[in-house]
Structure 1
Amino acid sequence: MDQEAQNTKKEIPDESDIQENPENNEKVNAESETDEKVNEKLTKKVQDAYSQNEDFQDKYVRVLADLENLKRRQIKEREEAVQRTRSQIIGDLLPTLDAFQMGMQEVEKDESTKNIFVGISMAYKQMENILGEYGLELLDPVGTEFDPKYHEALSHQVSKEVEEGFIIQTIRTGYKMKDKLLRPASVIISQGSKETEQN
């Protein structure tokens, strides 16, 4: 056993042997320097990966936001294009509505054309209802105050019944679609009574 203990003792170097042996010191120092460099490199790679990940996440969020904005803009542009097209088509039909109105006024005067009047007025009402479903609104402002945004003054008349600045008669119906004016109503405006002007 003594021999085994001696052999084992020879295999395990003493701390004093390690400190005295410069080769061992260099190996230990080299290993610890290598470990530190590896740790530094790994730490830097991990930090770079985190930084890159944050950049990618930021870019991802921005791209998602841009995509949502693009979708909203496309929907809005599509709705505006549909509205613009409707306004153009309905604007082109306004002279037809005027022709219906004039035709109804003429045939209404004659008793012999009463059946024609009924037919024309039914067709006019039907067309008016269809266009109304697409957002067309009539401006027939008799009795309301004159508003240059929606009315076109053709003349002024003295009137005892209608207050000054209010509309007496609509000569041509105006139309608007949603908030967009397609055509102002052509109107005659009251000047009030002559007695009011003299006082």
Structure 2
Amino acid sequence: MPDADPSKPTTQAAEKQNEAATAATDAANATPTAGTEAGSATTATDAAVQLIAAKAEASANYDKYMRAVADLENFRRRAVREKDELRTIATGRVLEDLFPVLDNLSLAVAHARQPNADVKSLLGGVEMVLSQLKSALGNHGVKDINPVGQPFDPHQHEAISHEPSATVKAEHVINVVRTGYSLNGRLLRAAAVTVSSGPAKPAPDGKPA
């Protein structure tokens, strides 16, 4: 009977040790893989949650934007409507003050059409209506611009001609051809005026030119 080989038990033990080491290595390698998969799943879940939250926030912001646009449009329409109402009210007040002027003017015209109309009386009536009209306009901030003898002001006056004058200084208004008007300090129509060019220059023979 052959003797037992003492090296066999040692070899078998070594093989078993190698198998155990290999299994441990595989187990060790398997653990990080599972952890990585779990981490990837967690990251994907977080990204999905963040995406849902971002979409919800974007939707809420869009709703706020649309409400702001609607509010702005409503404000614009309300402002236009209120402006039109104020203009109508202001115009109505002016017209209310002008109605008596129209009444008196109609009476003056009716009087002028009579066969025996008195011109002097008619003139007095027209002057009264004119004064009444100026008073009505003045109540609403309208003022005459009648700068006779004043320095020429290009911001309020329109020079239609220049004439020499021995009594009015140069660049001063000699007379007003068409009265100007302002409304609460704002120019409505410039006064058309004749401007002095100063004393007439003498001609070579000594006579005024």
Q: Give me the TM-score of the superposition, normalised by structure 2.
A: 0.46
Larger Rg: 2
Higher relative contact order (CA 8 A, sep 6+): 1
Quick check: which one's helix share is greater? 1
